[in-house]
Amino acid sequence: MIWAMVLLPVLLLVMGMPIFTVLMAAGSVTLIWVMDLPIEMIQTELFGSVDNYNLIAVPFFIWAGAIMTAGGISKRLVDWVLSLLGGLRGSLGLTTVGACTIFGAISGSSPATVAAIGGMIYPSLRARGYPEHFASGLVTSSGAIAGIIPPSIGMILYGVAAEESVRNLFIGGILPGLLIAAMMGAYVYFVARRLNIQEGGTFAVRNIVTTTRQGAWALGMPLIILGGIYSGIFSPTEAAGVSCLYSIIVALFIYRDVDARGLWKVTIESAYLTAQILVIVGAAMLFSRLLTIAGVPQMIVEWLKAMNMAPWMVMAAINILLLVVGCFLDPISAILVLSPLLKPVIVAAGIDPVHFGVVLTVNLMIGMFTPPFGLNIFVTQAMFKVPLGTLYRGLVPFIIINLIGLVIISYWPDLTMVLVRAL
């Protein structure tokens, strides 16, 4: 069984096969030749895994985020944040962090945030005197906040795979996401002072009023969607549908930055991305189901019990595992494969599954900008042609900051759970 469920996937990954192909091949070989289970189980698991009400939120949030991105939302958000921070040392760098955080509450996608916010603000960072390594590292790492701040697609998938409340996961991700944003902002301010960066901006109430009026509809989306979820007016899946309707109205009829042809193009692109995600969902859930049938989660739990590890040691071991996995696998595949395996482990250790879902998401978002295969790295490198050596050097301090944030989030569960209990 080891050769089919461990060695075969590793071999296929090394050969450069797509992740869904790796999971499907390993799952099919294991099911047919190792476990001798009915072949019909393949189609049953594939279609059954995507026949989930919570998963409907994924294509809706992807579509809504794409519409808002095409509709000029990112520029209005950047202008609004910059008006609030004008006059502060490092205001443009702080705006990068702030705009990525707010845009993350719209798109829920880390690479999309890097493309939308970074594509507009990176040239300004360089023009204002920020070094290439720092500017590229800031843009690449700030985009990862979008995967933590709700509505996070990663948290939706964890909720499906681990059978946990997506609403509670969204609520739990608010303070950890803001903590990481605050820590990155503090570092940006420190660097701007040390380098004596002069942005030349000024603080003016008139600018705030103007940018707020221009960006009110963009700012309204996270308020309406997340406010509706947390107040219990609608579920996360219903909120995703509302976000699509809201984004279409704003982009087509209010801002008018998108016409019918542009909307159709965005829709097709979103459908392709949704298909890519859902085929991974099906393949990963098949693979996870076979691991469960083989008793792998129970074996891990028994192994940890035999080692008599304290809960903090279990959390540390899982964090190390997730950080390594995040460097090589995309978050979607990692969440879907590992969540069913690790949930029995953390439950046995007395760790709340909602708290762990946030910890898992933060781990894998760090992997989005950690060499060698962080997806955000490829987005930044492709857009701005930054040499990889320069980009890697700029990412080091942000990786350290995020790791410190991860430790705080891991061992201070109330940071995650206080709002969950209150709401």
Three-state secondary structure along 100-124? HHHHHHHHCCHHHHHHHHHHHHHHH
* The pLDDT of residue 94: 92
CA dist list (Å): 199 to 130, 186, 372, 398: 10, 17, 33, 22
Confidence of residue 222 (pLDDT cuts 50, 70, 90): confident
Tell me the average pLDDT across 20-38: 83
Q: d(Cα 153, Cα 166) in Å, to the nearest integer?
A: 10
Q: How big is the chain by its Cα radius of gyration, in Å? A: 22
Region of poorest pLDDT, from 170-184, 218-232, 251-265: 218-232
Q: d(Cα 421, Cα 423) in Å, to the nearest integer?
A: 6
Q: d(Cα 103, Cα 227) in Å, to the nearest integer?
A: 16
Question: Contact 136/122 with Cβ under 8 angstroms?
Answer: yes
Residue 2 has pLDDT above 60, yes or no: no
Residue 135 has pLDDT above 60, yes or no: yes
Tell me the per-residue pLDDT of 229-275, one tens digit each, with 9 for 90 and over.
888 888 888 988 998 999 899 888 888 888 889 999 999 998 988 88
Q: Which residue has the tokens 């955080």?
A: 101
Q: Which residues, in sequence order, are CB contacts of 215 under 8 Å at separation 6+? A: 76, 77, 79, 80
Tell me the average pLDDT across 23-48: 83
